[in-house]
Structure 1
């Protein structure tokens, strides 16, 4: 025995197409019903239940009850970050319809990665935080103007620093191949955007739509003009 970790056990859980589809659907962070997962993956309720049991036993998801419904979600931010990192290495699935192509472009534009912003929007927000000195140039420490700039959207630096979760972490965005901020700050920024309806969740997806107020708010807060982002136009 090597005494090392059993990486193959995690690989086996993720390495099934149905379970992978479930995990990607749950990567938006919110709870998802078993019937919704089954429908999205095109499998029966009984087969979905068997796959979900394996994910539960493997510690990749958790379940909660809401009346008679069983709602599933990603077990932790560490699981979400693992999946995002794997996506950066995985080949793209073939697109066989206009609807699929449109869905992929919209997912690239703006989405949730568990509890923080990702896609073109997430990368643009991260760069805007650097430009306004909320983040240092290396994105690994808070910058000189973090407190007043974050207060503009109701985020308290003292709360971020005191929380048990690391305030700053960085993910490599799987569509943009560039970093976006995660950790406590990434979650707080995403919550602020959702609370202000600068972004709204897209039904049945972890994708987000940026509202008119959101585009204006982002420009006013961080000076980011989404329509001037080449990647935003490329994904239109």
Structure 2
């Protein structure tokens, strides 16, 4: 099988070199060869770097998995691969409005990132949490509601409920990230801020009563949910009495 002649761009040094690889070369070994043959690539810790296949759309590039072979990615001679750091800052917004910046591995899936994020923030039950894209619009109902005569109290309560729903969203309305894909595969760039929410409630026993971070997140999320339910109940009672 003919060898691959690939252009290797060492991003941090702004250097491009052409190297020969066997198509069956494992990506991990290819990274080792790059560090051995290109002096500019020998900076930093090798585990922090990886090979990246860029795309015209910066959101659609792909990190090459260390255990895959080069021919798995259907590379051709002349293709350009970037050798660069995999870590980048990710802004995560908590439900109380605070924003945390966490260094994450851009090549990891969301499931792997949640372990890192929750560990850095101080949350132990990472498997119950997920990430949501900010600014997602609530989907409109397929059919408009039947118009009814409403008094001012009912209208005021409904407006309050809509405002709370926009703040809370329901699980169906939220655009949860796919745990099996990377951020880049889901079109999330370096500038986007993600919302951390508790998605799965396996057991309240998993909430550490001594953990102020978990307690605060749970308090905010359930507090807004309770407000929506209470307002909805008032609206229902008012509509029944009309």
Q: TM-score, normalised by structure 1?
A: 0.25
Structure showing greater Rg: 2
Kindly indicate whether structure 1 or structure 2 has the higher relative contact order, using CA contacts under 8 Å at least 6 residues apart: 2
| The structure with more strand, counted as a fraction of residues | 2
| The structure with more helix, counted as a fraction of residues | 1
Q: TM-score, normalised by structure 2?
A: 0.24
